[in-house]
Structure formats: C-alpha cells, structure tokens
Amino acid sequence: MMFYTTAINGVFAFLIAGGILFTRGGVTNELLLNLIFYIVITPVIGTTLTKIMFMSEDAMIVSDAINRIDEVLNKKPLSESSVNNIPKNNGITLEHVSYAYDKESQAIPKKNALNDVSLSIEPGQTVALVGASGGGKTTLANIVTRFFDPGEGRVLIGNIDIRDIPKETLMNKVSFVFQNSRLIKASILENVRMAKPNATREEIAHALEAAQCLDIIEKLPNGIDTVVGTKGVYLSGGEQQRIAIARAILKNAPILILDEATAFADPDNEVRVQQALSALSKGESADSPRKTVIMIAHRLSSIADADCIYVLQDGEIVESGTHSGLIERNGIFTKMWKNYSEAAEWKILNENKGLEVNA
C-alpha cells in the first residue's frame, strides 16, 4: 500500500523530469502551464481512485452485515401456546423426532440431522449421548431445550409437549453448560448471578465453592468482585467452564444438559470440573431431588457411570444401554471405547534408553 500510494501520488515527478529532459525547444510558458496542471490534477485522480476503492470495500462489508442482520430478523419466532401446561415431573421423552437444518440452496437435498429418534429418560436419570462428530448429539440436546422445533415428531417433558409449556417455565426447568462457555465483561459475582438475579452473595459464594472455583477466586485481585476481561484478568477455558457450572448450580434447575463440559479442561481442571458436575447433578435436599442429566461427551471415561448411553450415528440411535452392556455387545461403542482407551494410555518406547513414558 505504501508503494502504491507513492507511485500514484508521485507520477508528476516523472512528468517534470520528462518535460525538462525531452523538450527540444526549452522550457516554455506552455510547458510550465501543462506541468502545473498535471502536478495539481494527478494527486486528485489518485485520491479519488483510492476513495472509490475503499468505498467499494466498505460497501461489501456493509452489505454482508445487513444480510446477516436480515437473516436473524426474518427468522420466525417459535409459536407460543395458549395452553400453558406445567410439567408433572422431569422425565424427557422423544417420539419419532426428525429434524433437518435449512439449506440456502434448494438444489441441495436436505439431510436429516436427526432421523426418527425415539427415547425415554426417567426423572433423575443420567444419560449420555456419544458418537462421531456430526452424528446429531448437540441437535438432539437443542431440540430438548426447544432452541428449535422438530420437523416431525414431538418432545415431552413431564408428559407435556414442550410446545405447550410456557417459555419462562421451560427455561426455568433447564440449565445448560456448553462446550464453549463464555463470560461477559463483568465481575465473577455478576456472571454467576445471571442465573438468579435476586441471589445473595452468600448463595453465589456457595455455588462457586460447590463448582470447585475457590482456587480461581483466591488468585483474583478482588475476589468475586474482580471484573473479567480488564487489567489482564483472563480465565482459561477450564476455569470459565467451572464458573459456568457455578451459574448452573445457582440456578438449580431440575434438568441439566452438559454439552462437552470438559472439552477445554486440562487434566487438573478436568478433575475439578468432574467434581463440580457431580455436585451439580445431585439434589441439594429432599425438596430438590436428583436432576435429570443429559451428557454429550467425547471423553468416554466421563460417562462410564451413566444410567444409559445412547450411541448416535448419522442422526439415528444405533445402540443403547449401560457401559458394561454395550461393551459386552461388541458393537460400535466397543470399538469407540477401545480406540479411546488406546489413545488415553499410549506409551512411547525410547529404544535407546529402554524407557516407557505413560501419556
């Protein structure tokens, strides 16, 4: 850009040199007037062309931004039912659910992300969804929380179709811990309090303790009042996930959805996150029974104790059962478990020294 600007705005220098060197009749008034004209007009042309270039670039950026805004604004909101039923319990049922994401081009055939999926989760059960990426695990979890409605079939919570449950009631019924947990630029206290705006500092402190966050709070300059994202205060992915778990603990919703909650945790953080998740899934009292938990995991060791494991492949449930039962079946899950175990326990043999190093 520097050389381009110099060349465009410096063309008049070549005009002056050429006019002086190649003028046979000497420097005349007419030549001087022509030189002055070109010296004045050349930068104007260069500046104009540069502004047109930048204007065209900005126009493309603005057009793309407007299209993306319009795409959001043109989305139709989910229908609101006037029935307003309240779920009887925390059980979850999917009946012949199918869903396909919209394609921009109608020439491309739609492929179902979920295809005729049926399952039943009893209140207080912990189930796990496993399978290769793109198998439909996150889509299934999103449909349970009604981030979108299924194309076919229906989802029931407490024997009530989620389309007949008031939006506020449904959102109060479910807590999420996503794979990419992010905190807003506010204090730790305010980040956790988002789950329960009227929570006291004592309640927030208890939630942070249950989420194994005390080591995080201790190293922050102002404790739970430290603002994240200012003055060099940043948290790792695993630490952010523990704060997100504290938020879910504070909300204390009866249904919990964990989407790769340990994805960005290092070994030390993973142990703490697992302890926090264990505390989160348990009821705090007789009035708060054990939660219904849906776990999405690639780290198969984290779901070994699940009441039921569903293996998804190409949007369909191909296997289901307990960990030991699936291993005995010697099917897809057995192969996944074998590959996971080999990857987790690989050894490097130093041929020169005869040393083995456990990963």
Tens-digit pLDDT profile for residues 230-262: 666 778 877 888 888 888 888 888 898 888 766
pLDDT band at 264 (very low <50, low <70, confident <90, very high): low
pLDDT at residue 358 above 50?
no
* 31 vs 171: which has the higher pLDDT: 171
pLDDT at residue number 265 = 60
* 190 vs 264: which has the higher pLDDT: 190
pLDDT band at 290 (very low <50, low <70, confident <90, very high): confident
Section 114-130 average pLDDT: 90
CATH homologous superfamily of 92-348 equals P-loop containing nucleotide triphosphate hydrolases (3.40.50.300)
Q: How far is CA 177 from CA 53, 245, 249, 348, in A?
A: 45, 6, 10, 35
Phi, psi at residue 268, to the nearest 5°?
-65, -45
| Highest mean pLDDT of the ranges 261-265, 297-301, 329-333 | 329-333
Q: For residue 347, give both structure tokens.
A: 């050894």
Contact 236, 268 (CB under 8 A): no
Share of the chain above pLDDT 70, in %: 81
User: What angle separates helix 267-281 from helix 201-210, to the nearest 10 degrees?
Assistant: 120
Three-state SS string across 274-308, please?
A: HHHHHHHHCCCECCECCCEEEEECCCHHHHCCCCE
pLDDT band at 49 (very low <50, low <70, confident <90, very high): confident
The mean pLDDT of the chain is 81
pLDDT at residue number 285 = 47
Flag whether the pTM goes above 0.75: no
Residue 149 CB-half CA count within 13 A: 14
pLDDT band at 19 (very low <50, low <70, confident <90, very high): low
Q: Where are the domains of the chain?
A: 2-73, 92-348
pLDDT at residue number 59 = 94
Helix extents (H) in 211-266: 214-219, 237-251
Share of the chain above pLDDT 90, in %: 17
Q: What are 51-73's pLDDT values in tens digits?
A: 888 898 999 999 999 999 998 89
pLDDT at residue 166 above 90?
no
AA letter at 136: G
Q: How far apart, in whole angstroms, are the C-alpha atoms of residue 159 and residue 45? A: 73
